[in-house]
Amino acid sequence: MRKASALAALLITTATITGLTGAPASAASDGGSSVVQNRAEVLAQLERRATNMEELKAQINLQLKVAPGGKQTGVNEVSYDNGRFIVTYAMPNTIDGTPDCESGWFCFYDNTYWGYPRGKLSDCGWQDLARWGWHDRTESVDNSTGSSIQYIQHRDYGNPANGHSYDYTLFWNDPWAAISTVPYRNQADHVRRWC
């Protein structure tokens, strides 16, 4: 449920989700369980492999609703910030399971063993994955850079303005290395490329 709760911050600003899963959800007399169910449905739609082009199109549209501001730059790709962050979904009837990050980029996958969808970055420094709807969604990684990549969880204990928060390193991805199943799956919400 960690992924579902992570998407909640992006998807639910009121008690209703409209249009994301085909049916509205509301926190009715059941204490909100229908909202939780629909968050899980949204996540399931994003991380499963499309079986046809219509399902792929629905995933791309959902990605753009979950993380507004992107632009579809390919049949299975959404780009943010003029290509700074790219999300790629698997084409129907393809098989993944091998690290495939292009040289100069570091990639993180929503499933173990490099299972799509895949997010990728190349910038140096600290970056907030929530900006693109990718926080708490990393299960495997591939680093095709000469720099170390630090995967971080930001923990808040009380009011961050009063210094009650800190960043916790979950794991490191060494230069030119891939990890099929990361420790602390679905917990990274920030990354830092050290270059």
What is residue 101's DSSP assignment?
Answer: P
List, run by run, the mean pLDDT of 10-residue segments along the chain (195 residues).
48 33 37 54 85 96 94 97 96 89 97 96 95 92 98 72 72 98 96 96
Instruction: Write the class of the CATH domain 69-194.
Output: mainly beta
pLDDT score at 96: 76
Q: Distance between CA atoms of 61 and 71, rounded to whole angstroms?
A: 10
Q: What ranges do the domains of the chain cover?
A: 69-194
Q: Distance between CA atoms of 162 and 185, rounded to whole angstroms?
A: 29
pTM of the model: 0.78
CA angle 98, 141, 154 (to 5 degrees): 160
Do the Cβ atoms of 46 and 54 come closer than 8 Å? no
Do the Cβ atoms of 195 and 145 come closer than 8 Å? yes
